[in-house]
């Protein structure tokens, strides 16, 4: 504003003077005007520079506080370059270098089964893709969830980029071919050695460019694999497969609530309706419930076993323990009756009637539905895999983990707890337990005799270092790799056979 006023005043003065005055005093008047103009500009520049310096200093202190919560107009990379107060430390995100290799083609996989069955399959498929030098497409999951609904897909891709190239989808030309149904699809042979994939699957990928494996559970053998294959399976399982931030946050919330109440035990009580119908185990069920479970078993054509002798199967240790049997086992092991017990399971078949004896022995029974508000679980409803992921996180952090059946979750959680330091996992010997329980029930064993026998039988079944059982030509009967990944475990103790 000052510059404009000076110029305007000079122009008015010039118009009132005659020609001679302009000629005689023009040069001196012009010099004075230029000098004033220069001084005004210099002063203005100094003031502006002073303001900039002061604002920059204030911005370093107040900027992050003022801008917190505002919509960002920076990209993520730009935002990381902003100077933060010295009290805030943001470690740089270090990505592993990309592995450079000649790509032999693309591998698509569709996982089947529950969460932990799919989890182990993903680990196997990453190891196979790495060994074959192919590009893996982010696996498709069974049920109603997508990969990114359960796992942090970006972390999965970037954390493994030094081992294998993983894409969210095929390149457009190949994607169009798959959408038209022109893709080679097959189910690999169960429990195969890695050489099977090198000799049988790789030539198909090289020929067709894309191969789709549509059943991936238990397709890679437990034992006899190269050490780098075994270690990569562990790296995927324990590092790359991270749950989504929403699931992780809710898991931490549940664990914090439980920790505030003291030590807690997670009981993986596999006594849901579908489990009982599939296994044919009806111990403690009334006649109406037996009929209902039988109808359900016949309704699923892919459940091959239809006529099942429940009593014989139970005596062979092939049934999940009932809530009543579980209560007796925990009491015999002298688990403190005041401990919190978190039930990691779906809806228990028979409801409160079947849970009565367990609740009487251990009053502090809790579930995620009783700990959390309905709003917390709203986005998880009708998504069994997400609910199972929450139970997985709580199981991993528990002081004691007790599965009543050796299904996929029990096995994978057992292996993960071994990996993080051999945390106590009580592996119940169901065949021995039901025999002891029957003897105690019919009066042939006193309580002290029963309790002593149970404790002695489980003294070495608490998740300590052991050798993985290998049974040549009978892979289904040997120890599962993911329940005891001994190639990846650190221990100073000798490995004993369990």
The rounded mean pLDDT for the chain is 85
Spatial strand order in the sheet of 264-268: 365-366, 340-343, 264-268, 400-403
- The CA–CA distances, whole Å, from 23 to 6, 14, 16 equal 21, 11, 14
Alpha helices in 189-286 (DSSP H): 194-196, 202-208, 227-235, 245-259, 273-279
Which has more confidence, 96 or 71? 96
pLDDT score at 94:
81
What are the beta bridge partners of residue 121? none
pLDDT score at 302:
87
Query: For the chain, how many helices (H) and strands (E)?
Result: 21, 11
Q: Give 207-235 pLDDT, tens digit per residue.
A: 999 999 998 999 999 999 999 999 999 99
Which residues, other chains included, contact 114 with Cβ-Cβ below 8 Å and sequence gap of 6+? 142, 143, 384, 385, 388, 408, 409
Q: Are 320 and 434 in contact (CB under 8 A)?
A: no
Q: Is a pLDDT exceeding 50 seen at residue 82?
A: no
User: For residue 380, what pLDDT band results from cuts at 50, 70 and 90?
Assistant: confident
Percent of the chain with pLDDT over 70: 80
Q: Is a pLDDT exceeding 80 seen at residue 10?
A: no
pTM of the predicted structure, to 2 decimals: 0.80
Which has more confidence, 311 or 379? 311
Cα Rg of the chain, angstroms: 34
DSSP 448-459: HHHHHHHHHHTT
pLDDT score at 142:
87
pLDDT score at 44:
65
- Provide the 10 A C-beta neighbour count for residue 226: 12
Angle (CA) 332 336 341, round 5°: 100
- Residue 305's φ and ψ, nearest 5 degrees, are -85, 120
Q: Are 271 and 347 in contact (CB under 8 A)?
A: no
The number of C-alpha atoms within 13 Å of 19 and in the hemisphere containing its C-beta is 0
């Amino acid at each position: 504003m000052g510059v404009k006023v000076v110029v305007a005043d000079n122009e008015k003065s010039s118009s009132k003077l005659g020609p001679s005055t302009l000629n005689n005093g023009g040069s001196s008047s012009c010099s004075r005007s230029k000098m004033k103009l220069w001084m005004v500009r210099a002063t203005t520049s100094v003031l502006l520079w002073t303001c900039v310096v002061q604002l920059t200093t204030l911005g370093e202190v107040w900027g992050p506080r003022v801008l917190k919560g505002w919509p960002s107009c920076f990209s993520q990379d730009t935002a990381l370059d902003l100077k933060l107060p010295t009290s805030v430390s943001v470690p740089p995100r270090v990505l592993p270098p990309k592995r450079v290799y000649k790509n032999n083609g693309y591998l698509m996989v569709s996982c089947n089964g529950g969460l932990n069955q799919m989890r182990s399959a993903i680990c196997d498929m990453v190891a196979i893709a790495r060994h074959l030098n192919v590009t893996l497409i982010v696996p498709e999951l069974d049920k109603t969830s997508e990969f990114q609904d359960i796992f942090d897909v970006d972390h999965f891709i970037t954390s493994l980029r030094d081992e294998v190239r993983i894409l969210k989808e095929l390149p457009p030309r190949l994607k169009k071919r798959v959408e038209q149904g022109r893709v080679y699809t097959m189910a690999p042979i169960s429990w195969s050695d890695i050489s099977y994939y090198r000799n049988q699957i790789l030539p198909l990928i090289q020929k067709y460019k894309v191969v789709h494996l549509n059943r991936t559970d238990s397709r890679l053998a437990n034992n006899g694999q190269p050490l780098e294959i075994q270690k990569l399976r562990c790296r995927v399982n324990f590092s790359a497969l991270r749950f989504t931030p929403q699931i992780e946050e809710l898991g931490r919330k549940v664990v914090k609530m439980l920790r505030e109440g003291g030590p807690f035990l997670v009981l993986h009580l596999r006594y849901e309706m579908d489990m009982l119908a599939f296994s044919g185990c009806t111990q403690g069920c009334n006649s109406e419930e037996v009929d209902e479970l039988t109808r359900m078993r016949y309704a699923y054509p892919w459940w091959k076993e239809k006529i099942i002798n429940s009593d014989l199967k139970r005596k062979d240790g092939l049934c999940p323990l009932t809530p009543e049997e579980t209560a007796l086992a925990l009491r015999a092991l002298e688990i403190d009756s005041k401990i919190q017990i978190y039930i990691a399971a779906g809806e228990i078949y028979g409801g409160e009637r079947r849970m009565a004896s367990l609740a009487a022995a251990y009053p502090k029974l809790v579930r995620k539905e009783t700990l959390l508000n309905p709003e917390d679980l709203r986005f998880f409803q009708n998504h069994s895999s997400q609910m199972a992921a929450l139970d997985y996180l709580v199981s991993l952090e528990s002081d004691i983990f007790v599965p009543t059946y050796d299904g996929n979750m029990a096995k994978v959680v057992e292996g993960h707890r071994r990996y993080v330091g051999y945390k106590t996992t009580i592996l119940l010997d169901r065949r021995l337990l039901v025999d002891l329980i029957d003897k105690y029930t019919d009066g042939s064993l006193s309580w002290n005799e029963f309790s002593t026998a149970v404790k002695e039988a489980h003294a070495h079944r608490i998740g300590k270092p052991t050798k993985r059982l290998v049974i040549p030509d009978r892979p289904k009967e040997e120890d599962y790799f993911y329940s005891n990944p001994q190639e990846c475990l650190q221990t100073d103790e000798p490995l004993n056979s369990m």
